[in-house]
Amino acid sequence: MQIFPAIDIKDGQAVRLFKGDFAQKTVVNPDVLDQARTFAAVGMTFIHVVDLDGALTGQVVNRDLIARLKAETGLGIQVGGGIRTLEQIRDYLQVGVDRVIIGSMAVKAPDFVAEALATFGPDRIMVGIDAKDGFVATEGWLETSNIDFVTLAKSMADRGVQHLIYTDVARDGTLTGPNFDHYERLIAELPQVQIIASGGIADVSDLERLAELGVAGTIVGKAYYQGRISLDQFKAFGG
Nearest to 85 by CA among 55, 54, 65, 58: 58
Per-residue pLDDT of the chain in tens (239 residues, 90 and over written 9): 999 999 999 999 999 887 667 777 899 999 999 999 999 999 999 999 999 998 888 888 999 999 999 999 999 999 999 899 999 999 999 999 999 999 989 998 999 999 999 999 999 999 999 998 888 987 655 567 788 999 999 999 999 999 999 999 888 888 899 999 999 999 999 999 999 999 999 999 999 999 999 999 999 999 999 999 999 999 888 65
Sign of the alpha-carbon torsion through 207, 209, 215, 216? positive
pLDDT at 140: 54
Q: Please name the helix (run of DSSP H) or strand (run of DSSP E) that holds residue 131, with its range, or none.
A: strand 125-132
If phi over 0 gives left and psi between -120 and 50 gives alpha, with beta otherwise, what is residue 48? beta
Handedness of CA 161, 235, 210, 79 (dihedral sign): negative
Active-site residue list = 8, 130
Answer yes or no: are the C-beta atoms of 61 and 98 closer than 8 Å.
no
Number of H helices, E strands in the chain: 11, 12
